[in-house]
Every structure is written in structure tokens, then in C-alpha cells.
Amino acid sequence: MAAAEDARADLLESILLLADGLTVEAARDWQQKVWELRVLHNDTAVSAEVIRQALIRASDARDRFYASARPDLGIMTTLPAPQLLQSPAISDVPDANTIGG
């Protein structure tokens, strides 16, 4: 996990150095939302609904970052509309006894 965090931080620094102002703001916002999600995820007292709402905020921030970064990279096509996040139905979640086997 630490190696992935180091790689993410290095990539973010490149964005902050090279991107335009709107993209930098969007990158920082996305980073903040992901950090908040990680903190909530590690808190056993937080409900699944609170985590779901934080995930939606992080996803929205990512979408804003992508929308800002694409023109900065010369990509002028639009992204498809984001899909709503849905929790899997209980029947869709694999049973621990059937995983891998």
C-alpha cells in the first residue's frame, strides 16, 4: 500500500507541475475526496451509507478532474455520462465458501 501511495503522490506532483490551473484544482479536490474516503473506510463506526456517499463524492471529483484534464491534453472528445453507483444485491455477493472454488 505504501508503494502505491508513493507512486500516486509522484504522479500527482507531475500533474500539479504541468497542468493548467483548473486541472490542478480538480486534481487536488479529487485527492482530498479520496483521502476522506480512506479515512472513513478505516473507521469501523462509520455506516455503509456514509462510505457510499463519500465514494460518490470521490467519483464526482474524479469525473471533474477527467473533464478538466482531457482538453489540457488536447483530447477534445467528451466522456460518456457517468453511471450511478449501485450496491450489489445480497444475492450478487459471492459467499465466502464459494470464492475460489
Q: Tens digits of per-residue pLDDT, 9-66? A: 888 888 889 999 999 999 999 999 998 988 998 898 999 999 999 999 999 999 999 9
CA geometry: angle 30, 4, 98, nearest 5 deg:
95
pLDDT tens, 62-90? Answer: 999 999 999 988 888 887 777 766 655 44
Please classify residue 4 by burial: count the beta carbons closer than 10 Å to its beta carbon, then call 0-12 exposed, 13-18 middle and 19+ buried: exposed
Query: Residue 5: helix, strand or coil by DSSP?
Result: helix
Q: How far is CA 94 from the centre of its chain?
A: 24
Q: Where are the alpha helices (DSSP H) in 1-101?
A: 2-18, 21-41, 48-72
